[in-house]
């Protein structure tokens, strides 16, 4: 799989992240959801590497499609005209509603904490924490040294932990 050159991708990220965030926030009207979509859009663009001829158009198309997916999912969980939920849209779990809400809150706070990390630190932390990539693979993907990966992970864990600790006080 061909990779997006890291220097080019870093510049691309810095140049487009603000505009992409604004665009996605207008579509989904949720800061947390928009951040998730922006992050996923950049990750998918990075994965496609040299196969993408117009990275900005590809990035915005991915983000638009993800935003529409979220909108469809949200509509599916809204009550129908009579006020009832369609039985096919209701997912049954053994988890209590309180436990589910607490899990959603923990995830939301974690995403907020990760979103506050510097871009490269966030990329390293996300690849390791959420995708389970080994250090060596992260170093290769981002074209950095394994020591840099280690440093970014340490910083990501430290700053994320500190943010969560401040929020829970």
Same domain, 77 and 115: no
- Write down which residue in 71, 92, 113 finishes a domain: 92
Q: What is the DSSP letter of 91?
A: P
pLDDT tops 80 at residue 41: yes
- Measure the CA–CA gap between 26 and 87, rounded to whole angstroms: 30
Residue 27 CB contacts under 8 Å (≥ 6 apart), including other chains:
34, 63, 64, 67, 68, 71
Q: Determine contact, residues 62/142, Cβ cutoff 8 Å.
A: no
For the chain, the helix, strand and coil percentages under 3-state DSSP, each to the nearest 5: 75, 0, 25
**Tokens matching residue 5:** 């050159």
| Contact predicate 20/38, CB 8 Å | yes
The enclosing domain of 67 has a CATH number of: 1.10.1740
pLDDT digits (tens, 9 = 90+) for 97-107: 666 777 777 77
Is the domain of 63 the same as that of 117?
Answer: no
- Classify 79 in phi/psi space as left (phi over 0), alpha (psi -120 to 50) or beta: beta
Specify burial of residue 98 (Cβ count, 10 A radius: 0-12, 13-18, 19+). Answer: exposed
What range does the domain containing 18 cover? 1-92
The Cα 150–Cα 124 span in angstroms is 9
- pLDDT category of residue 129 using cuts at 50, 70 and 90: confident
What token pair was written down for 67?
């935003």
User: Residue 70 — very low, low, confident or very high, per pLDDT cuts 50/70/90?
Assistant: confident
pTM across the whole model: 0.45
Do both 70 and 112 map to the same domain? no
């Amino acid at each position: 799989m061909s990779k997006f050159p890291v220097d080019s991708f870093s510049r691309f990220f810095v140049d487009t992240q603000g505009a992409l965030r604004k665009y996605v926030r207008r579509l989904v009207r949720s800061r947390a959801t928009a951040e998730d979509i922006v992050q996923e859009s950049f990750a998918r663009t990075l994965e496609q590497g040299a196969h993408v001829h117009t990275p900005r158009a590809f990035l915005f198309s991915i983000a638009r499609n993800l935003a529409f997916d979220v909108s469809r999912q949200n509509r599916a969980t809204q009550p129908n005209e009579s006020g009832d939920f369609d039985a096919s849209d209701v997912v049954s779990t053994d988890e209590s509603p309180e436990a589910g809400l607490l899990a959603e809150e923990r995830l939301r706070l974690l995403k907020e904490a990760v979103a506050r990390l510097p871009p490269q630190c966030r990329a390293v932390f996300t690849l390791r924490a959420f995708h389970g990539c080994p250090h060596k693979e992260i170093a290769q993907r981002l074209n950095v040294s394994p020591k840099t990966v280690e440093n970014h992970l340490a910083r990501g864990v430290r700053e994320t932990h500190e943010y969560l600790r401040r929020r829970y006080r």
